[in-house]
Structures are given as C-alpha cells and as structure tokens.
Amino acid sequence: MNWGDRDFMAPGRSLAVGDRGMAATSHPQATLAAVEMLRAGGNAVDAAIAAVALQGVIDPHMTGIGGDCFAIYAPANGKPVAINGSGRAPAKAELGWFLAQGLTSIAEESPHAVTVPGAVDAWCKLAADHGTKSLDEILAPAIRAAEDGFVVTPRAGLDWARYAGRIETHRTGIAAYLPGGKAPATGDRLNHPALARTLRRIAREGRAAFYDGEVAVEIVAALKGLGGLMELDDLASASADYVEPIGADYRGHRLWECPPNGQGVAALLIARLLEGFDMSDTGLSEADRIHLLAEATKAAYRQRDALVADPAFKPLDVETLLSDASIAAMRSGIDRKRASAPEAFDMPVHRDTVYVAVADRDGNVVSFINSIFAAFGSGIYAPRSGVLLQNRGAGFRLIEGHPNAIAPRKRPFHTIIPGLLAKNGKPAMALGVMGGQYQSTGHMQILTGLLDRGLDIQQASNEPRSFAFDGELKLETTIAPAVAEDLAARGHRITWADEPLGGCQIVYVDHTRGVMYGASDHRKDGIALAA
C-alpha cells in the first residue's frame, strides 16, 4: 500500500502514519494510553488492555469490568490466537424456571439479563500469556482516571444524556454516573473512587480480586436482591477460553474472525458472497453497491440468526457453511435489481461497545472489543465495588428449541466482533466497527472500500454507511436522496438513520515498507496515533 495522496479540502480526518507502533480507539485518552504503553516498551497486548480498561472508566455507558470481551492477537510471524471473554448464564438459569414465571423474554433492566462478566478474566489471561507488562502497569491509566478524575468528551456526553434513564431505573448508580441527579455535560469532570479501588485490587491480585471475595459477594447480593439467580460459584468458575479463529478469503487476503457464540461468521459469509461480484467495477453506482451489500447482509444474517449460538450447546460446522456449494446456493438468491423479502429480527438491538486496534513496533497486532451490551448495561450497580453490570443475557430467548434459549452456564449470542486481516500469512490489519448488529456488515463495508475501491483506511471509514436489518434498509443522511429513491425502486424499505451507523477503528501494517497506518471514525470522539 502507498496511501497518502488525497484531497485535503474534502471532509474527513487525516490518515495517521508511523513506523514504531500505532493505536486507534474511540476516545483520545484511550489512544494516548495505548501509545504511552507502546513507548514504555509494552507490546500490542499490553497497550490494548490499557486502553480498554481506561475506557471502562471514561466511557462507562459503553464498557467496563462488568462486561465481556473478545480479542484476536496476531504475532508478526505466527498464527493468530483468539480469546472468548464472554460470560455465561448462572447455573440455576433453567429455561423451565423462566417459563414457570410466565416470562416470554428477558428485560434489559432485569437481573436475569446479567451474565457473568467475562472481561476481567480475559484481560488477566491475555496479559499473563502474551503481554510483557504487569497488571499494575497496564491498569495504571484506568486507576489514575478513576481516582483523579476525567473530563467528559462530546460524543460520550451526548450518549450519556440520551441513555441516563437506564441508571435511573435501579438508582444505585446515580451518585456515580448522574452527579447532582443529571447526566454530565461535555467538559464536566468526574471521578469514580469505588471503581478505582477495585481496579487497584485487580492490579494487585489478578482475577481473584473480581471473581472471589468482597467484589463477588457484592455483585451476587445486588442481583439476588432483585430476584436474580447468580451465585458466588458462577463468578468463581468464570473462565475466558482461547479459541481457533475462523477465516475466509477476500481479494487475496484472509479475513479472521472469532468463532460462535459471536457473529463473526456472518462477516465471513458476506465476504464470500460479495467475492462473487466485481465490486471494483467502476460502472457500479452507489445504489448498486449498497444494494449488493444489503442483499449479502440479509442472506448472511438469515444463517446467523438460525445457527449462531454457544457451540457447547449447538455446534456449527463453519467449514460447510462457508463452502463453495453453500455460498453458491445463497448467492443465487441475490438479484442485482430487486430486493429480497425483508425479515423481522427477534433479538434485542445493541449499539454500545468500545473497540481498540493496536500494532507494536515488532508488527504484532491486536484486535480487541469490549462491551456491557446496552448503554449502561443493565443499570444494576454494585456501589462499594464500582461495578456496573452488563445485560448481555437479554439476548437469550425463552423459547424451547431456540438456538439461543437460556440454559445453565450457557453463553448468549454475541454481536461484538474483532476482525483481523492477513496478507501472505502476516497480520495486515486490525479492524472493528462498533454498532451492535451492524458489525458484521460494517467489517465488509470497510473491506470492500479498501480492497475493491482502492480507498485508504481513513477514507473507507469516512464513507457513508447503510445497513439492511429488521425489514429496513437504513441509510446515513450523507447519502443522496436520489440514491435512496433508486434503492426504494428496487423494493427496499428505506429509513434514514437518526444516529451514526457504527464507529470504526483501524490499524494497518505494511510489512513491505515497514509503515503503519491508523484510522479513527469521525462518528466518535476517538483518534489514531503513531507511537
């Protein structure tokens, strides 16, 4: 790649360029924490965890130690390693119990929506096995922000105000997250001493500080006080798992994703489907590109919704699903001029996540994503420990025979997916596109811009976005009305997005030239910086 020639009068951010490491996150302070870790001699794993942990303090509506994570670590000259840091349902979470209560779904604010947080165990395992710094060093930026305070940035302030009602539901988090009874505005300063104490304990004692002892006791008490089924043994038995990444080829590259229970396989399906079309054809209109992506998305998501679940309960033959025969059958249903029938979606919509992309000076790459699911998760807060609990369990179905029916110690379907692109066996790019259900489509919207249209990674991020989901084709308002009219004429039900679609962060390593590039989405507060 030899990027950099661009029209500086055009809207959008500049491409970050360097040769000693690169980081991209959705918050400037998190990017700086990652870069400072790289400059202090840490590797990509150390830097990614430092950034994610800090965002759990300064972007608390998006992520935190009460949530889950997935990551792909790719050594410069080795095989990618994936880790599943998603938590499980309590051992007492029998489907029959829920049905006996007359429940038909799990409310997002319910204690039953809280699965065991898996992030802390994954952080500790990754740092011990692949990092070079101590937890004390890695968590220092997060501890400092929680103790000394941080300033609220514009996009964080907007989301904080929009979703403050989640904190008001259970009220125990009002003092920490709504000081004075209202959401902090851009420029307001906050600290979180209770969370700082827990982070210090994790830095000192490792995973035991979270999953055993006082923190675990408070979490269980908070949930049981609301009628939850979580027990101390559910937390004590939490374990992140190393898993084999799954992959598919696209335009001479290999796209790696985490396997189910995440939706990464949907991104691979879209890649395989689109590879059968010449997306580099200059004769394709913007409407043509949006239409093909929409139809590939619908085909892939039909498979996703029917098949993706915790593989310990419902294994998925990914190789067969991605085979030439399977893809040819799915691709045959795509009409270049007519939209296929829309389908309804029966799971909660998820929008709130942080994603971190890092490469170090040796060319090791980390793609890392962390989330508490909905904004402010369940809103259930353990005040002495400063732990805000996720609500990922809202994705379970209370339907006998459903692939995502709740069951003891089962992981729910997950939307958060880190992506990694390889070229000639070497890690070339870490990418993530925060935005819940959109993420699989988002990965391919970026890749087709990069590999089919010759855009650099920042230009690919800047492009207007679209998403075919739940019976609608949603368009960002930067797309021209004439394009929307063309798509409507093909049978798509068009709606205009009321907020940005996703938030992209990318790091690209050009091993031939020894150069690294970074891109950060203008839809978020973040930035890409070279070390």
Return the active site residues. 353
Phi, psi at 25, each rounded to 5°: -140, 175
- For tokens 């690294």, name the residue: 516
* Residue 282 in tokens: 């200059």
| CA 174 vs CA 161, 194, 371: distances in Å | 13, 13, 20
SS3 content of the chain, % helix, strand, coil (to 5): 35, 20, 45
| Residues 333, 72: Cα–Cα separation, whole Å | 33
Strand 419-423 relative to strand 253-257, pairing? antiparallel
DSSP type of residue 453: T
Give the integer Cα–Cα distance in Å for 310 and 247.
Answer: 18
Our measurement of the distance from residue 201's CA atom to the centroid of its chain's CA atoms, rounded to an integer in Å, reads 26
| CA-CA-CA-CA torsion sign (321, 322, 327, 330) | positive
The residue type at 408: P
Task: Compute the distance between CA of residue 195 and CA of residue 236 in angstroms, rounded to an integer.
Answer: 20
In which region does residue 14 sit, left (phi positive, over 0), alpha (psi from -120 to 50) or beta (all else)? beta
Tokens 């008490």 — which residue?
Answer: 221
Q: Which residues have a Cβ under 8 Å from the Cβ of 445 and sit 6 or more positions away?
A: 293, 433, 460, 463, 465, 466
Q: Which of 349, 287, 306, 354 is nearest to 51 (CA)?
A: 354
Q: What is the phi/psi pair of residue 160, to 5°?
A: -60, -45
User: At which residue do the structure tokens 């409407």 appear?
Assistant: 287
Helix axes 140-148, 28-39, angle to 10 degrees: 140
Residue 134 makes CB contacts below 8 A (sequence gap 6+) with: 203
User: What own/partner pairs with CB < 8 Å and gap ≥ 24 does 35-40 have?
Assistant: 35/529, 35/530, 35/531, 36/141, 37/133, 37/137, 37/138, 38/358, 38/360, 38/361, 38/531, 39/531, 40/133, 40/137
The pair of three-digit structure tokens given for residue 38, joined into one six-digit string: 């790289």
For 26-35, b/e burial (b = at least 16 CB within 10 A) is bbbbbbbbbb
Q: Give φ, ψ of 40 to 5 degrees.
A: -85, 5
